[in-house]
């Protein structure tokens, strides 16, 4: 059976891969994700993907975003690296007192729950529906998307599929 790789979106012939999220990745992507040679080779690989991916450090700080994520968010690497996720995606709550991670709304934040869980357990999540009130030049709008997380070395990759605003 042919499947579409969730990372690079190429068609690939399914083998007897284990039913984990990386199992839905083609062989090339599995290699890149499970055994990245260097941080630079991982960044280069992520830049070639069409899906937006944020690279999160263990403290839920964003340490990078691939080219598709930078295009989606309209930000360059400096606006992403070292910032909190709510600041990066312009979450409306990130501007409240306490900031991203410390407001009443943050307890229900899908991104935070999934990234923390994946970081602590190594467990992957696939296509969990999420929504976020984000600040756009015209005002606050609700963004809906599907979140997937994957642990790669000390990082958690956060993939945002089927984003709609
Ligand atoms: Zn792939």
How many angstroms separate the alpha carbon of residue 127 from the centre of ligand 1? Answer: 16
- Residue tagged 């935070």 (tokens): 112
pLDDT in tens, 88-130: 999 999 999 999 999 999 999 999 999 999 999 999 998 999 9
How many angstroms separate the alpha carbon of residue 62 from the centre of ligand 1? Answer: 23
Q: With 0.85 as the threshold, say if the pTM is over it.
A: yes
Q: Round to whole Å and give the CA distance between 2 and 153.
A: 29
How many angstroms separate the alpha carbon of residue 113 from the centre of ligand 1? Answer: 26
Q: Phi and psi for 154 in degrees, rounded to 5?
A: -85, 0
How many angstroms separate the alpha carbon of residue 142 from the centre of ligand 1? Answer: 30
Q: What is the mean pLDDT of residues 143-160?
A: 92
| pLDDT score at 18 | 47
Helices (H), 20-162: 27-34, 39-48, 67-73, 77-80, 85-88, 110-121
Task: Check residues 35 and 79 and name the one with the higher pLDDT.
Answer: 79
Q: How many domains does the chain have?
A: 1
How many angstroms separate the alpha carbon of residue 145 from the centre of ligand 1? Answer: 20
**Where residue 129 sits, what CATH number does that domain have?**
3.30.450.20
Q: Round to whole Å and give the CA distance between 150 and 124.
A: 5
Local structure of residue 63 (DSSP, 8 states) = E
CB 86 within 8 A of CB 100: yes
**Packing angle of the helix pair 27-34, 39-48 (nearest 10 deg):** 150
User: 122 lies in which domain range?
Assistant: 2-164
| pLDDT score at 15 | 61
pLDDT in tens, 9-41: 888 776 655 444 555 788 888 888 888 888 888
Mean confidence (pLDDT) of the chain? 88
Q: Phi and psi for 20 in degrees, rounded to 5?
A: -115, 170
Of the candidates 160, 120, 159, the residue with the CA atom closest to the CA atom of residue 144: 160
């Amino acid at each position: 059976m042919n499947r579409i790789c969730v990372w690079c979106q190429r068609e690939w012939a399914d083998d007897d891969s284990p039913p984990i999220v990386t199992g839905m990745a083609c062989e090339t992507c599995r290699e890149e994700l499970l055994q990245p040679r260097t941080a630079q080779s991982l960044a280069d690989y992520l830049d070639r993907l069409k899906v937006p991916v944020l690279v999160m450090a263990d403290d839920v700080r964003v340490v990078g975003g691939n080219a598709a994520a930078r295009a989606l968010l309209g930000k360059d690497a400096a606006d992403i690296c070292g910032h909190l996720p709510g600041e990066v995606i312009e979450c409306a709550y990130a501007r409240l007192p306490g900031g991203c991670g410390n407001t009443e709304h943050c307890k229900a934040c899908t991104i935070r729950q999934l990234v923390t869980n994946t970081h602590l357990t190594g467990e992957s999540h696939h296509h969990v529906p999420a929504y976020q009130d984000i600040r756009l030049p015209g005002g606050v709008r609700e963004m809906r998307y599907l979140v997937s997380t994957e642990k790669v070395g000390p990082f958690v990759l956060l993939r945002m599929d089927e984003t709609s605003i």
